[in-house]
């Protein structure tokens, strides 16, 4: 499993200096600078230049940096890629991925640009945005097509538009897609990042939706407002009790192995291999990090 903590990804429009400069202070695991939908067509060039200068100059306190570029089908996508790759962000989020061929093409392009910029080939990860029905159907082929692909993400507004349906607060219309994204991501040991919750004044609604996403198997969620970060981080972080339980399971399992025992019971519940593995993963991912404090 990709061991990076990607609970919250905070969208920051790349044409706003004040928001860019403050982006790291809200505690999001990933800052997601946006060159796509939040930028007016007439400002695409300005946003790109501003982001290049910002990434070359500012210190974001070691927060993971992602950049959402424009679709490579648009006249801005290739320019974005050529400008952003040499700076070496951690991830590039590619919108409207529908086929494995798109990913293969992008992977090759990034490799070429990385070599030119003296970056280790494979250094930059890809996050594929699934925003069309065709993309949902091709999910597995898309994920299998590149070692760089480290996260899947759902673009709900475009997907519902593509399907000719309305997005609702209950989210039933996205159930199948969300489940499939989480399932494929789990199968390929990559992150599954849920779509944004647009009403940033409705924090209860955000919590409810984030809990549902977690239940389905998502590992994180994109956020559009700093006030959403804490809730999303909290939902995707195991409690101190869960961490302690995980440590106890691993400790007792290790003891049992020494004495040649098979299945054990911890706190009155049977612990078999999948539960032990889950406990190890919790410890591996969260125990040594400050996020659980």
Quote the least distance from Cβ 45 to another protein, whole Å: 6
Task: Rule CB under 8 A: say whether 18 interacts with another protein.
Answer: yes
Task: Rule CB under 8 A: say whether 75 interacts with another protein.
Answer: no
Task: Rule CB under 8 A: say whether 61 interacts with another protein.
Answer: no
Burial class (CB in 10 A: 0-12, 13-18, 19+), 273: exposed
Nearer to another protein, 58 or 176 (CB): 58
- Of all helices (H) and strands (E), which one includes residue 6? none
Backbone angles phi, psi at 112, to 5 degrees: -60, -45
Task: Using the rule CB under 8 A, give the single segment among 11-19, 64-72, 132-140, 149-157 that binds another protein.
Answer: 11-19
* Other residues' Cβ atoms within 10 Å of the Cβ of residue 192: 24
Tokens of 292: 């659980």
Task: Rule CB under 8 A: say whether 56 interacts with another protein.
Answer: yes
Q: What are the DSSP calls for 151-179, one per residue?
A: EEEE-HHHHHHHHT----SS-GGGHHHHH
Contact code string over 35-54 relative to another protein, x by CB under 8 A: ----------xx--xx-xxx
Task: Rule CB under 8 A: say whether 25 interacts with another protein.
Answer: no
Size of the site for another protein (CB under 8 A): 14
Alpha helices in 89-227 (DSSP H): 100-116, 133-137, 139-144, 156-163, 175-187, 203-216
Among 2, 4, 16, 247, binds another protein (CB under 8 A): 16
- With CA atoms as reference, report the closest residue to 110 among 141, 148, 138: 148
Nearer to another protein, 19 or 275 (CB): 19
Residues of this chain that interact with another protein (CB under 8 A) are: 16-18, 21, 45-46, 49-50, 52-54, 56-58
């Amino acid at each position: 499993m990709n061991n990076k903590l990607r609970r919250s990804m905070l969208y920051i429009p790349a044409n706003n200096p004040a928001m860019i400069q403050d982006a790291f202070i809200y505690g999001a695991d990933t800052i997601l600078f946006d060159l796509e939908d939040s930028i007016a067509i007439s400002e695409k060039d300005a946003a790109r230049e501003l982001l290049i200068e910002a990434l070359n100059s500012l210190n974001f306190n070691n927060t993971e940096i992602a950049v959402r570029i424009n679709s490579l089908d648009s006249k801005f996508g290739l320019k974005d890629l050529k400008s952003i790759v040499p700076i070496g962000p951690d991830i590039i989020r590619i919108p409207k991925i529908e086929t494995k061929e798109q990913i293969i093409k992008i992977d090759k392009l990034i490799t070429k640009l990385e070599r030119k910029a003296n970056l280790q080939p494979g250094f930059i990860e890809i996050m594929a945005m699934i925003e069309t029905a065709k993309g949902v159907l091709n999910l597995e082929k898309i994920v299998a097509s590149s070692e760089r692909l480290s996260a899947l993400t759902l673009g709900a507004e475009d997907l519902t538009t593509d399907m000719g349906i309305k997005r609702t607060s209950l989210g039933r219309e996205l159930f199948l897609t969300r489940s499939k994204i989480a399932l494929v991501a789990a199968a390929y040991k990559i992150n599954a990042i849920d779509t944004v919750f647009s009403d940033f004044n409705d924090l209860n609604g955000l919590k409810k939706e984030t809990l549902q996403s977690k239940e389905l198997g998502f590992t994180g969620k994109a956020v559009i407002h700093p006030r959403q970060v804490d809730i999303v981080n909290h939902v995707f972080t195991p409690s101190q009790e869960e961490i302690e339980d995980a440590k106890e399971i691993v400790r007792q399992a290790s003891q049992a192995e020494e004495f040649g025992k098979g299945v054990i019971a911890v706190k009155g519940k049977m612990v078999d291999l999948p539960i032990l593995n889950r406990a190890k993963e919790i410890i591996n991912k969260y125990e040594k990090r400050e996020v659980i404090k």
